[in-house]
Copies of this chain bind each other. A is one copy, B any other.
């Protein structure tokens, strides 16, 4: 029985990752571990935290309805999203990690974010990356 770890944030790139993860879970007969990571502290205000909670409840409802075995982990332990995702993937012996990518183009140049780069280079398993719709 396979396990897929998916990085989720309530943004376009997180939604793209979750959609693909649901498809892959069905294809592989795998279960999903949805990881939402926040460093915590000043970055995570009360309103934002409540907003994330309601998004995660909605995610659980969607996956339940789709008949996909899943678990949602909301991690606020002072680690970067890349560190959280990699440590969960190692813990559950994930078959693949799925992440969403957003183009970052502060000066017109396309680059990958540092979290995405770190996950790709340090993951204990293959990483499936999907771009958010633009």
Contact = CB atoms under 8 A, between A and B. Distances in A.
Interface residues of A, number: 22
B129 A127 contact: yes
Nearest to A127: B129
Copy number of this protein in the oligomer? 2
A20 B111 CA distance: 26
Contact of A28 (B27, B116, B121, B126): B27
B126 A128 contact: yes
A120 B112 contact: yes
A131 B118 CA distance: 12
A51 to B, nearest CB: 27
Closest 3 CB pairs of A and B: A126-B130, A128-B128, A110-B121
